[in-house]
Amino acid sequence: MLMHCSEQRGRLVLSGKPMTNASLARLLGLSEQESLSAVEMLLSQGVASRDQNGAVICRRMVREEELRQKRREVGSKGGSKTAENREQTPDIDNGNDSGLERVRGFGREKGIAEADCDWFYFKGKANGWTNGGRPIQDWKMTLLSWQRAKYLPSQKNGNHGARPTAISELDRKLERDPLWQEQQRKKTAHD
């Protein structure tokens, strides 16, 4: 308990100096001889040791304190560094490109059909970028995992990139979405 509450956790120190046998005896309510024999027993059994200044230390407590300090320091800097690189949605307000174009570009890089990218974007937008009720943490990884799980429409229907022929409830919602309608008009005008 003394080492845990010490100013340097895991070390018996008082005002930055190794605690004397007399100070330790007073704190424990023992005679100096009893205190000295208790410390000697801990040292001989390998439970404790002495540091370079002569203070009695518990190596495990010192290690745990160093780890706690490192974690505290890292925690004060913020979360995971990989979390900084994640994009929850492809929609960003930079004025240069739309989220749909970003999804399509990423899909082209990864060999995902454009129709599947369109489906993913509009499904994500319609659901508020959630998956199973939880917010999507990284839309790129979600799209890739859906591709690996064969969750994309072209993989379910076996038509390799063509738009699914069966009209789903999502497709009906998309047909009422003005953004989707505008994209379809642009697409047919381009063809």
3-class SS letters over 2-52: HHHHCCCCCECEECCEECCHHHHHHHHCCCHHHHHHHHHHHHHCCCCEECC
Kindly state whether residue 86 falls inside one of the protein's structural domains.
no
Mean of pLDDT values over 98-124: 91
63 and 113 share one domain: no
105 and 182 share one domain: yes
62 and 109 share one domain: no
Kindly state whether residue 88 falls inside one of the protein's structural domains.
no
Q: Above 70 in pLDDT, residue 163?
A: no
51 and 133 share one domain: no
119 and 184 share one domain: yes
121 and 66 share one domain: no
DSSP code of residue 131: E
Kindly state whether residue 92 falls inside one of the protein's structural domains.
no
| Domain boundary pick from 44, 78, 112 | 78
Kindly state whether residue 47 falls inside one of the protein's structural domains.
yes
48 and 131 share one domain: no
108 and 183 share one domain: yes
Which structural domain, as residue segments, surrounds residue 67? 2-78
47 and 104 share one domain: no
132 and 70 share one domain: no
Higher pLDDT, 94 or 30: 30
- Whether the CB-CB separation of 129 and 136 falls below 8 Å is answered with yes
Most confident range, picked from 78-87, 88-97, 98-107, 175-184 = 98-107
136 and 179 share one domain: yes
Please tell me the total count of domains within the chain. Answer: 2
Higher pLDDT, 158 or 100: 100
Quickly state the pLDDT bin for 93 (edges 50, 70, 90). low
- Whether the CB-CB separation of 55 and 9 falls below 8 Å is answered with no
Kindly state whether residue 73 falls inside one of the protein's structural domains.
yes
Residues 6+ apart with CB under 8 A from 175: 181
72 and 6 share one domain: yes
